[in-house]
A and B are shown apart, each in its own frame.
Chain A
Amino acid sequence: MSAAPPLLSVRAVCFGYGGYEGREASEPCPGARRRRGEAGRLIRLISGIHAPQRGDLRLGGEPLAALGRRGLARQVAVVPQTLAVAFPFAVEELCLMGRYPHGGRLFEGAADLERARHAMQLAGVLELAHEPIDSLAGGERQRALLARALAQEPRLLLLAEPTNHLDLRHQREMAGLLRQLNRERGTTILFVSHDLTFAGELADRLLLLVGGRVAKVGAPSAVLDELTLEAAYGCPVTVEKSPDSGRPVVLVRWPGPRERQ
């Protein structure tokens, strides 16, 4: 029984923002507010921004708190949904920031630049290297953020809504890139998505969160079934099989023209 500990272990973790429960009663739409932060909260917990109020969070068998900020950043990288950059840094400068946890208090070395450029190439933003981030379109910006995370060379990559700003072609490329990272570099990838078909196509395991609680964990075919999803989302859903991969394709059953709601 000397198997290596799992890269990430999250057990009985519980977290809520202070005073949140008390305020909830006066919120006009508590459900909406609660859902907004759910996924991001999980990413914040695993990337060490918040500490869980209860439960056990480990990376490679070690408690998160024991790794230190830099130690954690060498292993875990985050691709946020969007990012406002205060000053006009260029894409290459952004990616070099990903090298920060790997040392060099003030300056990067030639090896850092090489890794940053490799990451930019993987994410398909090498030709944008000298463009300021704030001049990029949503999809380009998303890929620049992915390049920054890749430059960090993490063991665990966390992504928030990775397909959010992407058109169909770029969604397909994102899927291919994540799969390649997982297979070739051995990077463990955890992403949060409302795009259930994308999630089911790409992931080995899915975790369905409903109202901040774990509703179901398992293989995509087990989690993405009609009954589970209808209970979770409170609306009629059809699940079909992708002709290419055999993975589930989740479709909303749209209301008819005379139907209310």
Chain B
Amino acid sequence: MITRRRVAVATVGALVALVGVGMVALLFGAAPIRFGDVARALTGRAIPETTASIVLSLRLPRVLLGALAGAGLAVAGAAFQALTRNPLADPAVLGVASGAALGAVVGQIVGFEGTLLATIGLSAVSFAGALLAATAVYLIATSDGRMPIQTLLLAGVITGLFFSSAITLVISLVDASRLGGILHWLMGSLGTLGYRPVAVMALGGAVGGGVIYAEARALNLLALGEEAARQLGVDAERVKRVVFVAASLLTGLVVAHTGPIGFVGLVVPHAVRLSVGPDNRLLIPLSAGTGATFLVVADTLARLVVRPAELPVGVITAFFGAPFFIYLLRTRLRQGLA
């Protein structure tokens, strides 16, 4: 049985692992910095100013952003999987990330940049785009109250392609000088954004994640199908609506600041499910911790493999995620579930 205690212990364990990996990630970058100096910078003790500034203004916000983005995408993925009763669902596969990206592109062109209010505005338009895409996929894929897996994946792919084309359209209509960092952002990267997006993501993510976690037990019951869940007392319509919106919020928050980063929401919950089972009360917090760690590691690799240049982190997650996705799809086909 899943108890509060078990969830707490597992969550603390995942956090400790994340902090450890985050510390290691702070060591890597263009300039070599020793562990002792990183520790001193973090605790505010005296070290050369340039070193302190590299650790505190460049590397730390990037690691925090990566952790929040990874956690957000993984929890959104777990939520979409529970909602669609389908382990192959995630924000990117369902086209929700593309919707968020369109919102964020529009937001960036309009000029949401530079102030805290602008950061919040950018998150909001990205959230709106995510919600639009999620609603579209949902309406396309549902018939007679059922959502067959093939239809769902197809609807997601088509919606994703549509929104990608819409992004291309917007970009080609806008004067190249106004595109700024958009093209780089579109490749999916954690860049150097400072603490403003970190704060917005932490706050918004806590709200979205909290809302989803509050329904974790009801989400378990949805695995039995909507009819059985309702016969057990779950207000399925309300749970679906609430979690749907919250997962779109998480997707919007992440995509607004990091660009589309694929496969985290797909791979992480599935890997966690394989090791601790399908119960969402354990799956969601552990997916958050593992997703955070995974993206911090992926970003560190992205900074290292082609040093001194760096790869977009989405490349690394895709190189891990795509083969895993194919493996999942093949296993499910073989079991006759797909």
Q: Complex Cα distance A70/B234, Å? A: 7
CB distance from B79 to the nearest CB of A (A): 13
A49 CA to B87 CA, complexed, in Å = 26
Point out residues on B near A: beta carbons under 8 Å.
1-4, 85-87, 213-214, 216-218, 220-225, 227-228, 230-235, 273, 277-279, 281
Contact (A98, B232) CB under 8 Å given A86-B86, A86-B223, A88-B277:
yes
Contacts of B213 in A (CB 8 A): 106
Among B218, B223, B234, the residue within 8 A (CB) of A87 is: B223
From A25-33, A51-59, A89-97, A174-182, give the one contacting chain B: A89-97
Considering only CB atoms, which chain A residue lies closest to B226 in the complex? Answer: A49
Separation of A85 and B228 alpha carbons in the complex (Å) = 10
Give the complex CA separation of A77 and B220 in angstroms.
Answer: 18
A69 lies within 8 A of B234 (CB): yes
A87 to B279, CA, bound (A): 9
A83-126 interface (Cβ within 8 A of B): 83-90, 92-94, 96-98, 100-101, 104-108, 113
Asked if A141 is at the interface of the complex by the 8 Å CB criterion, the answer is no
Residues of B within 8 A of A97 (CB): 220-221, 224, 232
B235–A69 touching, CB < 8 Å: yes
Of chain B, the residue at the smallest CB distance from A112 is: B1
How far does the alpha carbon of A106 sit from the alpha carbon of B3 in the complex, in Å? 9
**Set of chain A residues within 8 Å of B222, measured between Cβ atoms:** 86
B-contacting residues, A182-235, CB 8 Å: none
Known A-B contacts A69-B235, A88-B277, A92-B1; A48 and B230 likewise in contact (beta carbons under 8 Å): yes
Q: Enumerate chain A residues within 8 angstroms of B216, measured Cβ to Cβ.
A: 106
Contact in complex: B227, A85 (CB < 8 Å): no
Cα distance A77–B217 in the bound complex, in angstroms: 18
Bound form: Cα–Cα A82–B85 in Å: 17
Q: Once the chains are docked, how many angstroms separate the CA of A49 from the CA of B58?
A: 55
Question: Which of A73, A84, A87, A113 contacts B232, CB < 8 Å?
Answer: A73
Instruction: Please state if B234 and A100 are interface contacts (CB–CB under 8 Å).
Output: yes
Q: Is the Cβ of B220 less than 8 Å from the Cβ of A105?
A: no
Contact of B223 with A100 in the complex, beta carbons under 8 Å: no
Taking the closest CB of chain A, its distance from the CB of B281, in whole angstroms, is 6
A65 to chain B, nearest CB (A): 14
Partner of A107, one of B3, B221, B232: B3
The reply to whether A89 and B2 form a contact with Cβ atoms under 8 Å apart is: no
Find chain B residues with CB under 8 A from A106 CB: 213-214, 216-217, 281
With contact pairs A84-B225, A90-B277, A107-B281 given, residues A113 and B233 touching in the complex (Cβ less than 8 Å): no
Kindly list chain B residues whose C-beta atoms are within 8 Å of the C-beta of A74: 233
Tier of interface size on chain A: 35 or more
Name 30 A/B residue pairs within 8 A (Cβ), A-sorted: A44-B227, A47-B231, A48-B230, A49-B227, A49-B231, A73-B231, A74-B233, A76-B231, A77-B231, A78-B228, A83-B225, A83-B228, A86-B85, A86-B87, A87-B87, A87-B273, A88-B277, A89-B223, A89-B278, A93-B277, A93-B279, A97-B232, A100-B221, A100-B234, A105-B217, A106-B214, A106-B217, A107-B3, A107-B217, A108-B1
Chain A residues with Cβ below 8 Å from B278 are: 87-89
A72 at the interface (CB under 8 A from B): yes
Q: Is A80 interfacial (CB 8 A cutoff)?
A: yes
Q: How far is the CA of A89 from the CA of B220 in the complex (A)?
A: 9
The 9 A-B pairs of least Cβ separation, nearest first, read A73-B233, A101-B233, A87-B278, A86-B85, A70-B233, A86-B223, A78-B231, A47-B231, A87-B223
Give the most central of A73, A86, A101, A104: most B CB within 10 Å: A86
Say yes or no: A105-B214 contact (C-beta < 8 A), given A74-B233, A89-B220. Answer: yes
A100→B236 CA distance, assembly (Å): 13
Residues in B with CB closer than 8 Å to A152 are 232
Q: In the complex, A86→B273 CA distance in Å?
A: 12
| Residue among A49, A69, A84 having the largest count of chain B Cβ atoms under 10 Å | A69
Chain B residue at minimal CB-CB distance from A96? B1
Bound Cα distance A88, B337 (Å) = 13
Please give, as numbers and ranges, the residues of chain A lying within 8 Å of B218 by CB-CB distance. 100
- Chain B residues with CB under 8 Å of A94's CB are 224
Give Cα distance in the complex from A88 to B85, angstroms.
11
Q: What residues of chain B lie closer than 8 Å to A70, measured between beta carbons?
A: 233
Least Cβ–Cβ distance between A82 and chain B, in angstroms: 11
Complex Cα distance A76/B228, Å? Answer: 12
Query: Given known contacts A80-B227, A100-B233, A106-B213, what 6 new A-B pairs fall within 8 Å (CB)?
Result: A76-B231, A80-B228, A83-B225, A86-B225, A100-B234, A152-B232
Check B224–A85 contact: CB distance below 8 A.
yes
Residues of A contacting B277 in the complex (Cβ-Cβ under 8 angstroms): 88-90, 93
CA distance A76 to B232 in the complex (A): 9
- The answer to whether A113 touches B231 (Cβ under 8 A) is no
Question: How many angstroms from the CA of A107 to the CA of B279 in the assembled complex?
Answer: 11
Which residues of the other chain, A, contact B87 by a CB distance below 8 angstroms?
86-87
> Which residue of A is nearest B2, CB measured?
A107
Distance A101 CA – B217 CA, assembled complex (angstroms): 11
Docked complex Cα distance between A86 and B81 (Å): 10
